Every structure is written in structure tokens, then in C-alpha cells.
Structure 1
Amino acid sequence: MSRREQLGQVLRFALVGVVNTGTFYALYLLMHAWMPYFAAYTAAFVLAMVGSFFMNTYFTYRTRPTWKKFLLFPLTNVTNYVVQSAGLYALVSWAGLDTRIAPLVAALAAIPFTFLLSRRILVPGAARDAGPEPARSGPSRL
């Protein structure tokens, strides 16, 4: 994969993140009007994650969705949460960053991790393509 293609994936991933965040928030506000806030939050989170799966599958990575990918995709959200939480703690506790700014910085720092994991889950052979070419023995297959 060329650098241009990789950059395109990163930009599409960022765009999906912006759209997904807006979708989540709109769903939350809509559902919160008629259900308790935590139920609205949870429902909006799940619906936004399903939407994120399909947007990333079709738009970001241009691959086909499968049940296996769908079931593995929540790992990207867990990774995002862990990286953001650790980053938030480090930025506030160790770096002394303002608690109003630190979550935004931590979220930005989590993007590469989330991108790489989502790519690995959604794109067949992505891990193989990212590393050095494996040594081949015998005739190559096309």
C-alpha cells in the first residue's frame, strides 16, 4: 500500500470519527428526551459503534463487512478507552495539564492506536502489509 493510500485511510478514518461523534451526540440528545441519561448514553454508544463499523468498513478501508469483523470491532472502542484513560491520567497527574484540556489531548493521542487496530480487524492482511515482506519458500502464488 502506498503512502498516499495510507494517508487517504487516515483522513477517512478521522472524518468517520467526526461524523460518528456527531451521530452519537445527536442520538444521545434525542433519546435522553424520553429515557434516563445513562440508558440514552448506552443506546447511543452502541448504535454509534455499529454505525462506525459500517462507515469504517465501507468508507475508510473499503472492505466487506463480516460477522467476525463485526464481533471483533468493539475491541477498537476498548483500546480507545484504555489509551485515552491512561493518557488522561498521565497528562493530568504527571504533566500537570489542565483537566479541561487533557481529555482532548488524550483523545488525539489515542487515534493512531485505534486506527491501527481497526485496520487490522477490518482489512484482511493489513498486519502482513504493514510489516516487512515475509520470506517466501517455493513458487509464489498470484
Structure 2
Amino acid sequence: MRPQLWQLVRFGLVGAVNTGTFYLLYLLLHPHLPYFAAFTGAFFLSMVGSFFMNTYFTYRTRPTWRKFLLFPLPNVTNYLVQSGGVFALVEWARMDDRIAPLPAAAVAIPITYVLSKIVLTGRGEHPARPAPDRAAGSAQSDDLGAAPVRVEVVEQ
């Protein structure tokens, strides 16, 4: 199987574990909080676990404070999609508020994959490919994998 396909499979496995963790937290918080507060609390608590599972297992990269601080960015989009979905399913479609987070999460998965890959591995870099040559005169890439800037000295 191609490395990128394995990465997608690992992302799915992490997503399944994280969804289970989120849902368990949601069910534990639900009796004590309004459904939306329970949803929000469970979402943010499970995001910490998601960061570590995705860095170590999915993308096989080193966790850094920078990545940890940026990791919420893809999850903000995920949160907006999921919370909008939960609200619409509960309030408009009259779905049971204990079940509504599951279909809402399914809609957000592809968006989260693309954005988390950008944050954790860098734009366009594939983890199976070797890093570009870091010849003298070129800058190192940052934690986000931004393309190095080549500096050439021209003698006159």
C-alpha cells in the first residue's frame, strides 16, 4: 500500500479512537451540563489527545510547542462544522442530542485531515519523502514545513 494511503488509514484509526474518546467524554458531561456545553467541553478535551495521536501515529512527526499551539486552527474549523451540524440536527431536524454529534463529526473528517496535515507536516511535504537538500546558503524550514528560501550571493 502507498505511504499516503497508509497515512490516511492511520488518520482514520486515530479519528475513530478520538471520536470514541470524545463521545465518552460527551456522555459523561451530558448529565451535568446542557448538551452544547457538554459537546464543547468534550471537544476541547479530546483535542489534546488527538494532537499526540496524530503527531506520533498518523504523521510520524515530532510534537513541538509550536505545532501544539497551531493544532487548534484546523480544529476550529472542525468545531464550527461539527457544532453547526449538532445544532442543526438537534434543533431543526429534531435528532436525539445524544446521537447528533456522530453524523456531525463524519462531515468534518475530510476538512480536518487536510488542515491537520498542513499544520503537523508542512505544506506539500510528504513524510515518506526525504527533506529537500539543505545546501549551504539555504535556510532551514520551520516546524510547519514552509519551503526553504534559497539565498544566493552574486559576486561583482
Asked whether 1:116 is paired with 2:114, we answer yes
TM norm structure 1: 0.64
Give the match for residue 55 of structure 2. 57
* Structure number, greater radius of gyration: 2
Cα offset, 1:56, TM superposition: 0.4
Give the match for residue 141 of structure 1. 135
- Distance in 1 (CA, whole Å) between partners of 2:81 and 2:26 is 24
**Structure 1: segments with no counterpart, 5+ residues:** 89-98, 131-135
Mapping 1:52-91, distance limit 5 Å: 52-82=50-80
Instruction: Note if contact 2:61-2:120 (Cα within 8 Å) is conserved in structure 1.
Output: yes
**Structure 2: segments with no counterpart, 5+ residues:** 86-92, 96-101, 127-131, 137-156
> By percentage of residues, which structure has more helix?
1
Distance change in 2, residues 1:84/1:46 (3 Å) = closer
Give the root-mean-square deviation of aligned CA atoms: 3.3
Identical-residue share of aligned pairs (%) = 61
Quick one: which amino acid aligns to residue 46 of structure 1? F
Distance change in 2, residues 1:32/1:111 (3 Å) = closer
> How many residues are paired up?
117
Give the match for residue 99 of structure 2. none
